[in-house]
């Protein structure tokens, strides 16, 4: 990384303190979801709010703001310098436009909202979470107004997670996906294979201890560096970067579903591989970290779906699964296991959804968020609207708030605008994979367990760049084409048409 401009050089030096504060804040967040006892809520909320204030102070520092202005005016910046300034300007939208008291208030409010959400989910009582959610939404609307937007308030929040992404673009993408995926799902449900499909594997108990050992094996094979991370347990699995050499993931183990923990390991491992693959010279600078949540999600979706749910991966993993679960899986074949890994069944829970129905779950959330932020529906009405849309898109209806509106943690964190990046990740992943196959014999590599070659392709084309290239530029550099849903839809139609003899 070559930095010659004096203003950019000074910005990087000043930003390193912000980076350190972000890492400490991330550590508190990890502890909040993994270890924190319930009685520590008030203290942790205060700690998080204080760290948020310190971080905000750094962004609002007069000298830092003046230096950023000077850097924006500078000419003849190289690619790294331009990207650093661009990323800082993007980050400054939040800290320079939103009043500090609002930022601190959001931090404290979301810390309390998380505990309220967790209790509400456990007790199946949306009313326990509702007042907290109202506060989070009110603050999110205030933030959107301060950040500014050209069309819809929701645009300001979307842009925080996927630079340049808008409500208008989202409606086009989800409109197309809902139509195409709905039609594919209808065909699958009418097929003879669907009618006789039954996942008998999920009626047996599978040792959580063995599930963890299998997850560890999978993570080691795909290249996750345990000396620079660890895997813990969380109700809602996640990946978090706590600084150079510390990228942690979490998993969960269902006694009747060993497939879920394998897929979670692949998914969160994909996120972690991205962070572990960024060139070390970017550490602590505005170029560190994945460039957007959509690109980040593409890396996790690739390992979870394009690799983890492939017939070739199931063939590779079959002897390992049978070594741990000899009695339970002895009668299974690679074909029957592959069907279990890819069975299409409309379900209530997003994180348990198959590839065909998953984005219908996201379409629902995109529509609800857009309506909430743009003032079209009330917080009190969310559970009922949720049930109605689930019935419309997936043909299933939640019988409780816990399996409906309370199933996701994101809104308690104030992460409005986050959900659409899951779908963007699926689209990016399919497009990247299409072009990866032009260079690599992907199926053969997976079957043989040669994941290092696959990871090397990702390191070369995506990981190493961190936040140097923004999403639209990165996908164009890697594939030569702008992002298109066509690659994803073609991938799904081909795969599931063959599986269900459509």
Could you tell me the CATH number of the domain that includes residue 389? Answer: 1.10.1370.30
Task: Judge if 405 and 352 occupy the same domain.
Answer: yes
Question: Has residue 463 been placed in a domain?
Answer: yes
Give tens-digit pLDDT for 283-297.
Answer: 999 999 999 999 999
Q: What share of the chain has pLDDT > 70, as a percent?
A: 100
132 is in an annotated binding site: no
What is the rounded CA–CA span in Å between residue 304 and residue 263?
6
Kindly indicate the confidence band of residue 440, based on its pLDDT and cuts at 50, 70 and 90: very high
Q: What separation in angstroms does the CA of 158 have from each of 148, 217, 367, 368?
A: 12, 36, 13, 14
pLDDT of residue 236: 83
Q: What separation in angstroms does the CA of 113 have from each of 41, 53, 122, 233?
A: 10, 19, 14, 21
Task: Judge if 140 and 178 occupy the same domain.
Answer: no
Show the tokens assigned to 90: 């993007």
236 is in an annotated binding site: no
SS3 of 248, please?
Answer: strand
pLDDT of residue 432: 98
Task: Judge if 47 and 171 occupy the same domain.
Answer: no
Question: To which H or E segment does residue 247 belong?
Answer: strand 247-251
Task: Judge if 230 and 275 occupy the same domain.
Answer: yes
For range 234-258, the mean pLDDT: 93
Task: Judge if 357 and 251 occupy the same domain.
Answer: yes
SS3 of 267, please?
Answer: helix
For the ranges 188-197, 228-237, 355-364, the lowest mean pLDDT is seen at 188-197
Catalytic residue among 108, 162, 241, 268: 268
SS3 of 70, please?
Answer: helix
For range 88-115, the mean pLDDT: 93
Show the tokens assigned to 23: 């890492």
Decide: 235 and 252 in contact? Cβ < 8 Å: yes
Task: Judge if 83 and 186 occupy the same domain.
Answer: no
pLDDT of residue 198: 72
pTM of the model: 0.93
**Number of C-beta neighbours around residue 75 at 10 A:** 5
Question: Has residue 401 been placed in a domain?
Answer: yes
Task: Judge if 207 and 333 occupy the same domain.
Answer: yes
Decide: 436 and 442 in contact? Cβ < 8 Å: yes
For range 265-271, the mean pLDDT: 98
What is the rounded CA–CA span in Å between residue 390 and residue 380?
17
Question: Has residue 471 been placed in a domain?
Answer: yes
Decide: 279 and 83 in contact? Cβ < 8 Å: no
Task: Look at residue 351 and tell me whether its pLDDT is greater than 90.
Answer: no
**Listed residue (139, 137, 165) closest to 152, CA to CA:** 165
For range 244-260, the mean pLDDT: 94
Question: Has residue 153 been placed in a domain?
Answer: no
Question: Has residue 404 been placed in a domain?
Answer: yes
Instruction: Provide the residue range defining the domain that includes 389.
Output: 167-499
Task: Judge if 144 and 177 occupy the same domain.
Answer: no
Q: Chain centroid to CA 451: how far? A: 22
For range 275-281, the mean pLDDT: 96
Question: Has residue 222 been placed in a domain?
Answer: yes
For the ranges 202-206, 268-272, 394-398, 486-490, the lowest mean pLDDT is seen at 202-206
Question: Has residue 436 been placed in a domain?
Answer: yes
Handedness of CA 133, 139, 142, 148 (dihedral sign): negative
Task: Look at residue 182 and tell me whether its pLDDT is greater than 90.
Answer: yes
pLDDT of residue 441: 98
Give the relative orientation of helices 153-161 and 126-147 as an angle to the nearest 10 degrees.
90
Task: Judge if 267 and 132 occupy the same domain.
Answer: no
As for how many domains the chain has, the answer is 2
**Number of C-beta neighbours around residue 498 at 10 A:** 10
pLDDT of residue 493: 97
Task: Let me know if 268 is a catalytic residue.
Answer: yes
Give tens-digit pLDDT for 444-474.
Answer: 999 999 999 999 999 999 999 999 999 999 9
Show the tokens assigned to 281: 């010279």
For range 32-44, the mean pLDDT: 89
Domain limit, last residue, from 102, 120, 148: 148
Task: Judge if 472 and 362 occupy the same domain.
Answer: yes
Task: Look at residue 201 and tell me whether its pLDDT is greater than 90.
Answer: no
Show the tokens assigned to 179: 């139509």
Decide: 292 and 163 in contact? Cβ < 8 Å: yes
What is the rounded CA–CA span in Å between residue 105 and residue 175?
36
Decide: 105 and 139 in contact? Cβ < 8 Å: yes
Q: List residues bridging with 233 in a β-sheet.
A: 251
What is the rounded CA–CA span in Å between residue 187 and residue 500?
9
Task: Look at residue 199 and tell me whether its pLDDT is greater than 80.
Answer: no
For range 403-429, the mean pLDDT: 96
Domain limit, last residue, from 91, 114, 148: 148
Task: Judge if 292 and 350 occupy the same domain.
Answer: yes
pLDDT of residue 333: 92
Decide: 374 and 140 in contact? Cβ < 8 Å: no
What is the rounded CA–CA span in Å between residue 48 and residue 495?
45
Q: What angle do CA 367, 368, 373 make, to 5 degrees?
A: 105
Give tens-digit pLDDT for 61-101.
Answer: 999 999 999 999 999 999 999 999 999 999 999 999 999 99
Mean pLDDT of the chain: 95
Kindly indicate the confidence band of residue 194, based on its pLDDT and cuts at 50, 70 and 90: confident
Show the tokens assigned to 401: 């708030």
Question: Has residue 162 been placed in a domain?
Answer: no
Task: Judge if 181 and 234 occupy the same domain.
Answer: yes
Q: What separation in angstroms does the CA of 269 have from each of 303, 359, 484?
A: 8, 21, 25
């Amino acid at each position: 990384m070559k930095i010659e401009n004096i203003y950019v050089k000074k910005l990087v030096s000043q930003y390193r303190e912000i980076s350190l504060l972000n890492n400490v804040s991330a550590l508190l967040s990890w502890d909040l979801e993994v270890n924190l006892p319930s009685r520590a809520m008030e203290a942790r909320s205060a700690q998080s709010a204080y760290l948020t204030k310190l971080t905000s102070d750094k962004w609002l520092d007069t000298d830092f703001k003046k230096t950023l202005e000077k850097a924006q005016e500078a000419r003849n910046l190289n690619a790294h310098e331009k990207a650093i300034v661009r990323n800082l300007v993007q980050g400054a939208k939040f800290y320079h436009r939103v009043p500090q008291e609002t930022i601190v208030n959001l931090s404290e409010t979301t810390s309390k909202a998380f505990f309220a959400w967790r209790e509400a989910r456990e007790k199946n009582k949306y009313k326990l979470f509702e007042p907290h959610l109202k506060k989070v939404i009110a603050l999110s609307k205030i933030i959107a107004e301060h950040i500014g937007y050209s069309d819809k308030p929701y645009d300001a929040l979307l842009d925080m997670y996927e630079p340049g992404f808008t409500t208008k673009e989202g409606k086009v993408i989800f409109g197309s996906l809902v139509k195409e995926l709905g039609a594919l799902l209808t065909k699958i449900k009418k097929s003879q294979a669907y009618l006789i499909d039954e996942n008998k594997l999920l009626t047996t108990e599978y040792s959580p201890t063995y599930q963890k050992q299998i997850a560890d094996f999978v993570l080691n094979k795909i290249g996750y560096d345990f000396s620079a991370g660890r895997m813990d347990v969380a109700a809602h699995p996640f990946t978090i970067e706590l600084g150079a050499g510390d990228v942690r993931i979490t998993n969960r183990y269902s006694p009747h579903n060993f497939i879920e923990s394998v897929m979670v390991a692949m998914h969160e491992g994909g996120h972690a591989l991205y962070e572990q693959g960024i060139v070390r010279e970017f550490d602590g600078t505005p170029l560190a970290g994945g460039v957007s949540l959509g690109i980040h999600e593409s890396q996790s979706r690739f390992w979870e779906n394009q690799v983890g749910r492939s017939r070739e991966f199931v063939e590779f993993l079959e002897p390992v699964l049978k070594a741990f679960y000899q009695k339970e899986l002895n009668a299974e074949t690679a074909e029957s296991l592959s069907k279990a890994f890819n069975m299409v069944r409309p379900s209530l829970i997003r994180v348990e959804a198959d590839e065909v129905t998953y984005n219908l779950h996201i379409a629902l959330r995109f529509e609800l968020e857009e309506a909430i932020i743009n003032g079209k529906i009330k917080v009190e009405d969310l559970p009922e609207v949720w049930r109605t849309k689930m019935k419309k898109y997936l043909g299933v209806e939640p019988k409780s708030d816990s399996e409906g509106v309370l199933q996701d943690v994101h809104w308690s964190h104030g992460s409005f605008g986050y959900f659409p990046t899951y779908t963007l990740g699926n689209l990016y992943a399919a497009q990247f994979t299409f072009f990866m196959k032009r260079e690599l014999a992907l199926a053969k590599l997976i079957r043989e367990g040669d994941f290092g070659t696959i990871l090397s392709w990702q390191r070369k084309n995506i990981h190493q760049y961190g936040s140097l290239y923004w999403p639209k530029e990165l996908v164009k550099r890697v594939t030569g084409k702008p992002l298109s849903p066509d690659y994803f839809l073609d991938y799904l139609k081909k795969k599931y048409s063959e599986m269900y003899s459509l």
